[in-house]
Amino acid sequence: MTGELPWTFGARTTTRLVALACFVLTPFSLSRGQAVNDTALAALLSRAYALLAINSPEAPSLFERAVELDSSNVLVRKQLGYLYQGNGKFEEALRQFVAADRMQPSDSTKLQVAYVLSALGRTPEATELLHTLQLSPYQDIRDRATNQLASSSPTGSAAESWTRVYAAPYYDTRWNTTFFQINFERGYSLTSDRRVGAFGTVMYSGDARSTGGQAPAIFSDNAIIFALGLRLQPLTGLRVSIQQGVAFDLIDRRSSSSPRGDFRAVGVYAWGIYAPHMYHADLKVPGRPFADLYSSFGYYSRYTNGIGYIQGRAGLRMIEVAKTVADVYARADIVRDTEKQFYNNQSEGSVGARIIPNIDWGLYLVGEFHRGMY
């Protein structure tokens, strides 16, 4: 990996220490004042690495002072993270590695974040990150992520199963009704790199306003679907799912029979820069930015239609206390389809706020205000 040193947990050879010190100690001063600061930092780091070479317990405190002098020094933050990690101070190590990765994104740093999350018992977060790293362009990162998954898996295999439950009830003032969406999915990876998997799913969607009969008024699918499918992940962030199922209508539609076949082939691309969580006993206002993109396009036999969707969002993490966080954001959505149905061709802008009561629960409380062209 270009620009990365091949550090691993607990590795402290003299050669690596000297190489790392050479990168950090090179001064780049453009003014006399900056030169003085660089000289002081260089002297401090020189002593810190000398103490580190003899495993002195004073070394961590010197690296802490170095971070105070130059909080943007990625290599010093990583070195301090390794020291905390080696001393069992995993919360402190996590803060340093997350900060380093924010300033200079790196798969090797993300791998250290995953190790520390595992040590803290935050297994779901560690597992999700390790699965992402299995799609890294670097073979050594992929291998180490796979090995870590295998060592932490109860079955000893990285090609394990997964279970996902998604529930999203919400009230929409545009339609004056409450909508319900619930998905349950159980899958198994078919390859060790988790790029190919098979799954079964049960999906329900409905609302509180739709009625059937001779003159049906239907605002959502109001159906339950049982399906089996295959999932491919050819590239980082890209997922393609193909599934065949059977749909049972929960409202009499008159115009269609029930049950009936339900086929869908959907490609999804997602990307994001996420606000890292820092544990604080007291309430903090970090103001850390985040942004994400979600897009999908697929064919749905239920509608005999191809539907595309794209969503972009950017915001700030405004509140952080213990494991509770709150965010504010702006969002844009565009929907288009091949059959020109009015409800599938709209553009929206919105502002929103969300509260995450506990980052380990996977629960979000969201309020949004939308305006758009429909």
The 3 state secondary structure assigned to 288-331 is: EEEEEEEEEEEEECCCCEEEEEEEEEEEEEEEEECCEEEEEEEE
- ω before 357 within 30° of 0 (cis)? no
Residue 123's DSSP bridge partners are: none
pLDDT of residue 293: 93
Amino acid at 347: S
pLDDT of residue 7: 39
- H/E stretch holding 240: strand 238-249
Q: Encode 242-258: b = buried (16+ Cβ within 10 Å), e = exposed.
A: bbebebebbbebeeeee
Domains and CATH numbers, the chain: 14-152 (1.25.40.10), 164-271 (no CATH), 274-290+306-374 (no CATH)
Amino acid at 91: E
pLDDT in tens, 300-329: 999 999 999 999 999 999 999 988 999 999
pLDDT of residue 352: 97
Q: What is the pLDDT along the chain (374 residues), one digit of tens a residue?
A: 444 433 333 333 333 333 333 333 344 334 444 444 667 778 888 888 888 778 788 888 888 888 888 888 888 888 888 988 888 888 999 999 999 999 889 898 999 999 999 888 888 888 888 888 888 888 888 888 888 877 665 444 444 678 889 999 999 998 899 999 999 999 998 987 778 999 999 999 999 998 876 667 778 889 999 999 999 988 878 999 999 999 999 988 776 777 999 999 999 998 888 777 777 778 999 898 999 999 999 999 999 999 999 999 999 999 999 889 999 999 999 999 999 888 889 999 999 999 999 887 888 999 999 999 98
- Angstrom distance (rounded) from CA 248 to CA 354: 34
